[in-house]
Amino acid sequence: MRPRIAVSLFAVAGLLASMSTAATAQTWSPEQLGVWGVIEAQWQAAAAEDGTWPDRFLHDQFRGWANEFPAPRDKSSTERWMRYSVENSTTLMHELFPLNIIVQGNIAVAHYLYAIATENRKGERRTTHGRFTDILVRDGDRWRFIAWHGGDDPGGED
């Protein structure tokens, strides 16, 4: 699963980002909107603890590098860590703030911020924020993640 809503300054930044996002999204092409829909659906599936999301969203050649891992992970490693995460924490809520989406042929690159609130099995709650860059490839008639990089910002916990 990907990294884990901050309230203070990040809430203000989030409000501003969401206001500018609405304006930006209105000028996005159908392809850009399609890519963003896939990103939102993947985060939603992960938050809902849907164990099928890696098969549905990750390309077989996927390599993703979240900040908390020492090296990029392939699809099977991502599936194993997702199962571990589901056993040890729950996503309470998340919010995504798209910054930029580029679609060039069969490749898409999306940059965005996120905020996420989680609870571990001890009942301890944590809110964090960070950023991701996702690279998606068109696989037949759908977009799949081929790579991503990002995670919690340093000091990004409230």
| 121 domain residue, yes or no | yes
| 140 domain residue, yes or no | yes
| 145 domain residue, yes or no | yes
The CATH code of the domain that includes 37 is: 3.10.450.50
| 2 domain residue, yes or no | no
Q: Domain span at residue 98?
A: 9-157
The per-residue pLDDT of the chain, averaged, comes to 84
Least confident of 23-32, 33-42, 69-78, 105-114: 23-32
Query: 117-152 pLDDT, tens per residue?
Result: 999 989 999 999 999 999 999 999 999 999 999 999
Domains in the chain, number: 1
Q: Tell me the mean pLDDT in the region 86-113.
A: 92
| 53 domain residue, yes or no | yes
Q: Which of the four pLDDT bands, split at 50, 70 and 90, describes residue 6?
A: very low
Question: Does residue 26 register a pLDDT over 70?
Answer: no
| 106 domain residue, yes or no | yes
Q: Which residue has the higher pLDDT, 156 or 61?
A: 61
Outline where DSSP puts E strands in the chain: 58-66, 73-74, 89-104, 107-120, 125-139, 142-157
The per-residue pLDDT for 81 is: 77
Q: For 152-158, which contacts have Cβ atoms below 8 Å and span 24 or more sequence positions?
A: 152/3, 152/4, 152/67, 152/68, 152/128, 153/128, 153/129, 156/6, 156/10, 156/128, 156/129, 156/130, 157/6, 157/126, 157/127, 157/128, 158/6, 158/7, 158/8, 158/10, 158/127, 158/128, 158/129
Question: Does residue 20 register a pLDDT over 70?
Answer: no
| 44 domain residue, yes or no | yes
| 139 domain residue, yes or no | yes
